Structure 1
């Protein structure tokens, strides 16, 4: 991948320092847009400088102030911020609550038959490792004249027999109205994309989505890196790596549960381990680091208060020994953290010493 990155930079002699509107497109980026679209069975795709920019930009670029956004309450920050920037008409339904989503859409349509409604979800919610019923959401959007946006950032390339993630496993390739994602998870590079059904919509986003028109385009090296990642994903090697990855995911989840931990959601490359209290989680995190292990601590505002968790990211080349050692380190850190938490908690609950009163 390093060699491909360097080669992509050296082969591009024309200038590319600008947005995709102004000198930013290169042969590599044009080829990557075509590849993303074909991979997702969509007619068109547009590149963005980051995945965050793609999520923010697809909403801010298309939703007008009088339109509505109906979104899963756990949607990523980029999607939430894009909605807030685009319109005051933002409606959230509880996580994966399809009936609640329907009720919101029906209520909106009862009072507003004309303005647009964008429904926003993710194929894999990274903090909970779970997925919506995209088939049912698409049918609901079709029934009530809404546009469905699916964020595939966390599963594209690494889940499914062919690497096409949850949207592929549910048979929804080419059926969502808009698909956005990030290259920073599986594809070894910065960058993001929005895939859509018409060239007109792609060009509209290019000119009216702020992150697209006011940010530098992907460099040739970034585009070449992602193209190489796609080549691996679609090869026999990619299939083998995904099989190894899934085996490691299942093994890690099994060992964590046997060690007494609660693990969120369904098997995916993001294994989230419930801790709860932010104070406890920080103490456990300190001991994890002391043991020479890396476990990303996630707490409010990324998740709700009192629902802190560790987000473990699994790789295909982790060994069972790596997994065993990681679980043992986390178990020991959890015990040490809880012991410290209990001691500190007792001190916090102790009434303060009486102080002298002035007369």
Structure 2
């Protein structure tokens, strides 16, 4: 099969990394410990006969609150599977909507402080469903440049006009809102932002953005994928942390991070949820979540009702400690402000080399490459966990500082495109 230049470049890059032994993606997990902060992976060197795995400390996970191996969460998944089986065997509209799904929707709505909630197969599909349903060809969507790729995909599906404003720049957003024309002549307006940006680790200025949404009669949609459960007094996300949760029209999120399961959700007014339930293709044309994942998410919400405050405190303490240790070792963390800690590296080759070197030394991190980040802006993303110990954090900071010091920046182009976006 013939490919275009971009696809050929990606295939060439993957082939070269594999030949050089620096391929950094798809680490094979062979076993799990009592916490997702530590797992087993095969020996990193090609040709090794080690099939049992060896301990690795994980700073590339999104199990922020350390619930993925919590006994109640595991039992919640098992009990739900025993009760309803492994799948829903139909779309939710015609036979895949169980009492568990209904209970989780109610629990998520209660947790979020919103009137209603809706479950999607993934967080990505939640964003696709919201944007492709609430926006149309006459409408205008205003999105931060560094939003998750699923937001851009949803706008494209909607046919709305997309206006991209500079990252965390309310003044530029205000300018775009003014030039788009009066709302009564230019259709509906939506402002869509990540609460906590997954590739930069910084928070959106939601108070200023909420002011602009009200001033320009725009709906405000906030993707809380990385902040739901982890930020705010009740763990309701960045909007709660910024004091504007009641000013956000639609909240999207995922169970795959703090809630130790999988699937997406939308929280909004009852009419919005009813419209999505009966109109969003990303919801109607997909099977419902497997009962086991629903049971796990329900159990996670129950655990967090008791332990959430303490787990969030440990998470943010660990994030501050990690940033402090990295800074003391001369490693920058850009604008990282929470538990997503970003380390700029530069070229794709250097980032791949550092990632592979760290894996061989027993530390798993997440590399980010273009187009998830700008060309020349490849980086490491560290996901801090409430279960990390001070020893884990000190060990990680020392290994990262050493790997960066030992790996000279590579000259030349930034390379191909091994990934399409971040999760």
- Please say whether Structure 1 and Structure 2 have the same fold, judged by a TM-score greater than 0.5: yes
Alignment of 1:94 with 2:158, yes or no, is no
Instruction: Trace 1:103-142 onto structure 2 (pairs within 5 A).
Output: 103-110=175-182, 113-142=185-214
Instruction: Trace 1:185-196 onto structure 2 (pairs within 5 A).
Output: 185-196=257-268
Contact 1:287/1:337 (8 A) holds in 2: no
Alignment of 1:85 with 2:164, yes or no, is no
Contact 2:239/2:245 (8 A) holds in 1: yes
2:284 match: 213
2:301 match: 230
3-state DSSP class of the match of 1:109? coil
1:302 match: 372
Contact 2:86/2:290 (8 A) holds in 1: no
- Alignment TM-score, normalising by the size of structure 2: 0.77
Q: 2 CA distance for matches of 1:151 and 1:282?
A: 29
Q: 2 CA distance for matches of 1:220 and 1:88?
A: 35
Q: 2 CA distance for matches of 1:266 and 1:124?
A: 10
Give the one of 82, 96, 99 matched to 1:24: 96
Q: 2 CA distance for matches of 1:10 and 1:53?
A: 27
- 1:206-253 CA-to-partner distances (Å, cap 9, x unmatched) read 222111011111122211111111112221x22222111111111110
Of residues 165-174 and 248-257 in structure 1, the stretch that sits farther from structure 2 once superposed is: 165-174
Instruction: Trace 1:295-334 onto structure 2 (pairs within 5 A).
Output: 295-334=365-404
Contact 2:183/2:217 (8 A) holds in 1: no
Cα offset, 1:91, TM superposition: 0.7
Alignment of 1:335 with 2:405, yes or no, is yes
Q: 1 CA distance for matches of 2:186 and 2:353?
A: 53
Higher relative contact order (CA 8 A, sep 6+): 2
Contact 1:179/1:195 (8 A) holds in 2: yes
Cα offset, 1:12, TM superposition: 2.8
**Misfit runs of 4+, over 3 Å:** none
Contact 1:163/1:234 (8 A) holds in 2: no
Contact 1:54/1:181 (8 A) holds in 2: yes
2:115 match: 43
1:286 match: 356
Instruction: Trace 1:191-270 onto structure 2 (pairs within 5 A).
Output: 191-198=263-270, 200-235=271-306, 237-270=307-340
Contact 1:135/1:172 (8 A) holds in 2: yes
Cα offset, 1:298, TM superposition: 0.5
3-state DSSP class of the match of 1:222? helix
Contact 1:40/1:174 (8 A) holds in 2: no
Cα offset, 1:14, TM superposition: 12
Contact 2:223/2:253 (8 A) holds in 1: yes
Cα offset, 1:159, TM superposition: 2.1
2:40 match: none
Count of aligned positions: 340
Q: 1 CA distance for matches of 2:383 and 2:179?
A: 40
Of residues 89-98 and 13-22 in structure 1, the stretch that sits farther from structure 2 once superposed is: 13-22
Q: 2 CA distance for matches of 1:79 and 1:27?
A: 30
1:352 match: none
3-state DSSP class of the match of 1:150? strand
- 1:128-153 CA-to-partner distances (Å, cap 9, x unmatched) read 11122222222221221211100011
3-state DSSP class of the match of 1:29? helix
- Alignment TM-score, normalising by the size of structure 1: 0.90
Q: 2 CA distance for matches of 1:186 and 1:293?
A: 21
Alignment of 1:3 with 2:75, yes or no, is yes
Q: 2 CA distance for matches of 1:103 and 1:296?
A: 35
- 1:247-304 CA-to-partner distances (Å, cap 9, x unmatched) read 1111110011111111022432211111122222222222112212111111111100
Of residues 89-98 and 125-134 in structure 1, the stretch that sits farther from structure 2 once superposed is: 125-134
Give the CA RMSD over aligned residues.
1.9
Contact 2:323/2:341 (8 A) holds in 1: yes
2:23 match: none
Instruction: Trace 1:59-78 onto structure 2 (pairs within 5 A).
Output: 59-78=131-150
Of residues 275-284 and 175-184 in structure 1, the stretch that sits farther from structure 2 once superposed is: 275-284
Give the one of 197, 212, 216 matched to 1:144: 216
Contact 2:133/2:280 (8 A) holds in 1: yes
